[in-house]
Amino acid sequence: MSIEKMEFVTVVGLMKYLDRALANCADSGYFHIADAVKESAAEETFIRLDGENPYKSLLKRVISVETGNEFSFEKTDCDDIAAMSIEQIEEKVTELENSFKEITGKISGCSEKITQRRQVMTQLKHLKGMKIDFQKLFECSHINVRFGRLPRESALKLSYYDDRTFIFIPYDEDGSYQWGFYFAPADSISEADNIFRTLYFEIITIPDFVRDTPEKEEEILGAEIAKLESELSDYEEERTKLIKENGGLLNSIFSFLKYRYDLFELRHNVAAYKDKFYMVGFVPKSQIDEFMKLFDTMEEVSVVVNKAGDSVVMQTPVKLKNNKFSKPFSMFVEMYGLPSYNGFNPTMLVAITYTLLFGIMFGDLGQGLVLSLLGWLVYKKSGNKLGAILQRVGISSAFFGLLYGSVFGFEEALNPLYKKLGFEHKPFDVMDNTMNVLIGAILIGVVIIFVSITINIIISFRHKDYVNAVFGNNGIAGFIVFGALLAGLGCMMTGVANLFTLPYVLCLIVLPLVVMFFREPLGCLVKGEKFHLEGGIGDFIASNFFEVFEFMLGYATNTLSFVRIGGFVFSHAGMMSVVMLLSETAAKGVSPVIIVIGNIFVMGMEGLIVGIQVLRLEFYEIFSRFYDGNGQPFEPVKINYDTNIE
Amino acid sequence: MKSSENATIAKARSIYGKRLKYNDYTELASRKKVTDAAEYLKKNTYFSDALSNIDTSTIHRGFLESVLNKAYYDGYEKLCKFQHLDRQPFFNFLLVRQEIRELLKALLYLNNDSNDVYIESMHTYMIEKSGIDLMALAKAEDFKAVLKVIRHTPYYDVLKNVKPDSSGNIPYTKCEVLLRTYYLKWLLENAEKCAHGKSKKALIDQINVQTDIINIINAYRMKKYFNADAETLEKYMLPFYGRLSKEKQSALFQTQSSEEYLRMLSHTSYGRKMEQLSEDMESDQFERELVKIRYAMAKRALMFSEDAAVSLYSLMYLQEVELNNITNIIEGIRYNKSVSYMENLIVLQ
C-alpha cells in the first residue's frame, strides 16, 4: 500500500551488444527506459542514437499487403524467418505482395463494375416509362442531349430563358431535385451548358454500354450485376484460400520485423560515445536481481544500479503497490494523477472511504448484492476496474442495507431476522433518525478532514516543507484552529460547556490564525532564509487577510459538504418509498413490474449519482489537502504488435 | 415584456445556442473540397435539416451557398410565424431588406447590360417570397421597365424621381442611398410602434449603430480609394446620426486622407471599441473590426432582451455574420486558400 521502490539502472556496453541489451530490457517487462542523452546532458561527448529505422519500409510493405478485411496481423512464432537474411525476407514479401495484389485487383475491378452498374440503374429508374432509345438518342448529329438533375429551386428561373434555343424536360422528382434532360441544337449546346451550369444542373453521364430503352437496360444491367457478383464471390473465395495458405508466413514476417522495428525505436533513448552505448532506466527494487541475471552472460555489458532519486534530471516513475482490496481503486487515483515518487499512495485511503461512504449513501441489502454481482460479471468479462470497484461497494451497500433494514425497498422484510437475532426492530431506521443521520454525516466529514490534515502534516515534514506542515491551513496551525472551533461549537451546542473563553480563543484560534497569516515569513525564518516582501506591505496584508478568510470559509464549507452523505441516505429511502407507493396503488399484476423497474431505475440513477458524489468528496475534500498528483507513471518498455507505425 | 412573446425569445436564444463554434469553423476550414465542407455542415451542424435532401457529394459551391441562404431566410420566416409575429410590420424587416438588395442588384447589372448575371445571382427563394415580380425585374431592359415592375410596391415612390442620364445609365449610388434611407426610416418607424421602453431603446440603438457602421465603412472606402472630399461624402452618406453626432461625422468627413480619418475615428466610441485600429490596416480587416462591435452588441441584446423584436432582430444579424463566415470559408476552400487565411476572416465573439 505504498509506492514501489525503484532502482536507477545504467547499462553500458559495446555497441555491438546494444540490440541484445535492448532485447533483454524489452523482454524483461519491467524496465522503464529513460532518456540517456538528457541524463548525460553535462557530458557533451555523448550523442543520441538517431537515424531512420531500417525495418520501417519493409514492415510498411508487409502491413500494406492487400489481404482485405478478413486478415489481421498478430504475434506469432518467427524462428523460421529469423534464420533468413533480410534479402530473402524481402523476396518473400514481394511474392506475397504480387499474389495478393493480383487477386485484390480482380476483386476491386469487379466491385467497381458492380457499383457503376448500380449507379446507372438508379439513374434509369428515373427514366422509366419514357420510351427513350439511348442508342438512337446518342446517334443524333444535330441535336445534343444532356441527362441529369436540377435543383428544384433553380427550375423557377427557367422561365427567364424562354427565348433561348433549348428545351428542358423533367421526368421525375426526388427530394430537392428535378430529374430531367435538356437538348439543344449542336451549335448552341455550349450556351445551354453554360446556362444550366449557373442553375447548378448536375450532368449524369450515361455510359457507352447503355444502348437500349430504360426498361431493357435495367434488365440487361440486372443480369450483368448478378454475373459480376458471382465472379466477385469466386475471387473472394480465392483470396480466402490464399490467406489460409500464406497467413502464417505473413504473420511470422510481421512479428519478426515488428520486434526489430520496436527495438530500434528504443534507440532514440540511448546515448553513444565512440563504440559504446549508454542506456538508463528504472527497474522495481523487487525485480532488480532478476534483471541483473539477464546480463550475466554478457560480459562486455555492465549494469550499474543506483538508488532512484539520485539523478537530478530524471523523475523517478511511480508504480503503486496496492493490496487485493484496494487495487481497483488505483483507477481513481490515476484519474487524478499519480503521486510523486516520494509522495503518499492514497489508494488505501480512497478504497476505505469510498467503500464506506458509498455503502452509507446507497444502503440496500438487495440492491447492494445485485450491484456486487453485476460488478463481478463486468470485471470477469472485460477486466474493467470499475466492475471490481462495484463488487466492493456493492457489499458495503448490502452491509448498510442490513443495518437500515432495507431489501429492494421493502423496509420490513428483514424484521423476522432481527427478531431472531434478539432485536425488537431494525437496528437503524433512517426516517426516524433524521438529525442523527445529518450529524453523523458531518462527523464522518470531520474525521476525514482531520485524517487528511494529519496525512498532509506527515508528508510535509517528510519533505521538509515546514511552511505547509506547521503554518499552513492544512498543517498544525490549521489542525488546531479547526479542532478548537469544532470542540468549542460542539460543547456549546450540546450544553456541556462554553469553551470560548478569552485564553481559549486567543491561544487556540487567534494565535494559529496569526501564524497562518505570517506563514511565509515564518517559513523563511525556519529555513534561515531572508523574506522578500513582494508588492509592498499593503499587498501582503490584503492578500494574506483574504487567504486566511478563505481558509476559514473553507473549513466551514468543506465540513458542510459532507452533509450530502446524509442527504443521499434520505434520497435513497425516499425514492424507494415512492416506488413502493406506486406499486401499492397499481393493479395486482402490474405491481411486481413497477417494483422491478423502480429498483432498476433507482440502482442505475442513484448508483451513478452516489458514485460521482463520493468521487467528488474524495477529490475535493480529501485529495486537495495533501495530494499533488505530479507523478510520472511507470511504463516498462515492451514490443507492441499492432500495425500502427510511424 | 409581453408574456406571449416569451416562447419566441426562448426559441431565438436556443437557435443561437446551436451556432457554429470556433472548432466548427476550423474543422470546416481544414476541409480540402467544397463537397467535404458541405458534408461537414450536413453531419455536424444545425444545417443538417436544410441539407438533408441534398447530395453533398456532388454539390456545387454556388448551390451550397444558395441552400444556406435559403435556410437562413426559412429560419427567420419560421420564427416570425411561430407566434404570428409576422402580422406586425416590423417583423418583415428581413423581407424588405432582401427585396431592396434584389432591386439594387438588378439596377447594378442593368447598368452593365448583364441581365443574365443578375438572374444567376438572384436568391431563388426570393422569387416566391418577394412582392416584386423578380422574373419580370430580371427581364427589364431599362429603368422605365424597372419602374413598371415595381409600380405597385413602396419602392416606386422612392425611385420614381430618379433620372437616368442621356445614355440610359442609372445613377446607382443615388438609388442605393435612397433605398437604404427608405429602409432605415421604415425600420425606425416600425421599431417605434413595435417595441416599448427599454426594448425600444435597445432596438433603436442597434439600428443606429448599424447606420453608423454603414456610414463609417462607406466613408472610409471613398476616402481610401477615391480620396473623396467632405461635400461628396455628405451627399452619399445615409442621413442618420446614431452614436456619432452630426458634428463628429462632419469632422470625420473633413479629414484629408484615409490615415487621418482612422486617426480621428480612434477617438470616437467606435474607434475605442475596435480591437485593432491602425493606419496601415487592410480595408477588409477594418470592416471586420466594425462588424465585431455590432456582433457583440447583438449578442448581448439577444442574451438579455425580453422583447421578441429585439431578440429576432439580433438573432438575424448574428446568423448573417455566421453565414458570411461560412461563405468566406467555402470560397477559401474553392480557391485553395490556407487555413490561417480563412480563420482570419472569421468574425466570432
DSSP characters for A436-484?
HHHHHHHHHHHHHHHHHHHHHHHHHHHTT-HIIIIISTTSHHHHHHHHH
**Is pLDDT above 60 for B32?**
yes
Q: What share of chain B is helix, strand, coil (3-state, %, to 5)?
A: 70, 0, 30
- Considering all CA atoms of chain B, what is the largest pairwise distance in Å, rounded to the nearest integer? 57
Residue A268 has pLDDT above 80, yes or no: yes
Closest by CA position to A362, among listed A646, A611, A12: A611
For the cut 60, the answer to whether the pLDDT of residue A41 exceeds it is no
CB of A476 closer than 8 Å to CB of A457: yes
Task: Evaluate whether A160 touches B138 at the Cβ level (below 8 Å).
Answer: yes
Instruction: Confirm or reject contact between A154 and chain B (CB < 8 A).
Output: yes
Q: CB B122 to CB A156 under 8 A?
A: no
Does pLDDT of B313 surpass 90? Answer: yes
Q: Name all domains of chain A by residue range, CATH numbers in brackets.
A: 134-211 (3.30.70.2750), 346-434+567-630 (no CATH), 464-561 (no CATH)
With CB atoms and an 8 Å threshold, state whether A200 touches B70. no
How many contacts, defined by CB atoms under 8 Å, are there between A and B? 36
Q: List the single residue in B54, B62, B119 with the smallest CB-CB distance to A157.
A: B119
**Average pLDDT, integer, range A167-180:** 85
Distance CA B103, CA B140 (A): 11
The helix or strand, by DSSP H or E, that contains position A279, with its residue range, turns out to be: strand A276-284
Q: Establish if A200 touches chain B: CB-CB under 8 angstroms.
A: yes
Give the mean model confidence (pLDDT) for residues B33-52: 92
At which residue does the C-alpha cell 431588406 appear? B97
3 state SS of A643: coil
Mean pLDDT, chain A, integer? 87
Given a contact cutoff of 8 angstroms between Cβ atoms, the answer to whether A147 and A203 are in contact is yes
Pairwise pLDDT comparison (B295 vs B199), residue with the higher score: B295
B84: left (phi over 0), alpha (psi -120 to 50) or beta: left
Per DSSP bridges, beta strands A632-633 and A317-318 are parallel
Displacement of CA B81 from its chain's centroid (Å): 22
CATH number for the domain formed by residue range(s) B196-306: 1.20.1690
Cα B145 to Cα A32: distance, rounded to the nearest angstrom = 85
Banded model confidence at residue B4, pLDDT cuts 50, 70, 90: low
In which residue ranges of chain B is CATH 1.20.1690 found?
196-306
Q: Name which of B317, B90, B252 is nearest B185 in CA terms.
A: B90
Percent of chain A exceeding pLDDT 70 equals 96
- Select the residue from B70, B119, B133 to test the A interface by mutation, using most A Cβ atoms within 10 A: B119
Contacts of A160 in chain B (CB under 8 A): 119, 135, 138-139
Q: Does position B1 have pLDDT exceeding 50, yes or no? A: no
DSSP A510: I
Q: What mean pLDDT is predicted for residues B129-154?
A: 94
What's residue A44's pLDDT? 61
In SS3 terms, A585-622 reads as: HCCCCCHHHHHHHHHHHHHHHHHHHHHHHHHHHHHHHH
Beta bridge partners of A273: A276
Cβ separation B119–A160 shorter than 8 A: yes
Query: Degrees (nearest 5) of the Cα angle A520, A525, A526?
Result: 100
pLDDT for the residue A646 = 63
Distance between CA atoms of residues B244 and B209, nearest Å? 9
CB contacts of A151 in chain B (<8 Å) are 63, 66
Mean pLDDT of A265-281: 87
Cell output for B279: 493606419
Cell of B52: 438533408
This complex has an ipTM of 0.85
Which residue in A171, A173, B117, A174 sits closest to A183, CA to CA? A171
Stretch B19-33: mean pLDDT, rounded?
Answer: 90
**Chain centre to alpha carbon of residue A359:** 27
Quick one: which H or E segment has residue A273?
strand A271-273
Higher-confidence residue of B220 and A298: namely B220
Between A249 and A134, whose confidence is greater? Answer: A249
Tell me if A8 sits within 8 A of A308, measured CB to CB. Answer: yes
Spatial separation of the C-alpha atoms in residues A31 and A10, rounded to whole Å = 11
* E strand or H helix at A11: strand A6-14
Name which residue leads in pLDDT, A445 or B1.
A445
Q: How confident is the model at residue A450 (pLDDT cuts 50, 70, 90)?
A: very high
Confidence of residue B2 (pLDDT cuts 50, 70, 90): low
Is residue B318 over pLDDT 90? yes
Q: Which of B55, B62, B139 sits opposite A160 (nearest CB)?
A: B139
**Chain B contacts of A156, Cβ < 8 Å?**
124, 127-128
Beta-carbon separation of A153 and B124 below 8 A: yes
In this predicted structure, the answer to whether residue A68 has a pLDDT above a threshold of 90 is: no
Q: State the distance between the two ends of chain B, measured CA to CA, in whole angstroms.
A: 27
Taking contacts as CB-CB distances below 8 angstroms, the residues of chain B near A198 are 62, 119-120
Looking at chain A, the whole-number percentage of residues with pLDDT higher than 90 is 32
Beta-strand (E) ranges in A86-205? Answer: 143-151, 167-174, 177-185, 202-203
The CA distance from A328 to the nearest CA of chain B, in Å, is 36
Q: Are strands A143-151 and A317-318 parallel, antiparallel or unpaired?
A: unpaired
**Beta-carbon contacts of residue A275 (< 8 Å; ≥ 6 apart):** A14, A15
Mean pLDDT of A230-253: 91
Report whether A176 contacts B54 (CB < 8 A): yes
In tens, the pLDDT along A477-516 reads 999 999 999 999 989 888 888 888 899 999 999 999 999 9
Q: Is the pLDDT of residue B37 over 60?
A: yes
Confidence of residue A531 (pLDDT cuts 50, 70, 90): confident
Q: Among A156, A176, A198, whose Cβ lies nearest the Cβ of B53?
A: A176
Taking the CA of residue A438 as centre, how many other CA atoms within 13 Å lie in the half-sphere pointing to its CB? 6
- pLDDT value for A587: 78
- Cβ contact A176–B58 (<8 Å): no
Longest Cα pair distance anywhere in chain A, in angstroms? 115
CA pair distance A463, A527, nearest whole angstrom:
13
Q: What is the mean pLDDT of chain B?
A: 90
Q: What are B168-212's pLDDT values in tens digits?
A: 899 999 999 999 999 999 999 999 888 888 788 889 999 999 999
Residues A478-483: contacts with CB within 8 Å, 24+ apart?
A: A478/A453, A478/A512, A478/A516, A478/A551, A478/A555, A479/A450, A479/A453, A479/A454, A480/A508, A480/A512, A481/A508, A481/A509, A481/A512, A481/A513, A481/A516, A481/A552, A481/A555, A482/A449, A482/A450, A482/A453, A482/A555, A483/A450, A483/A508
pLDDT at position B20 over 90 = yes
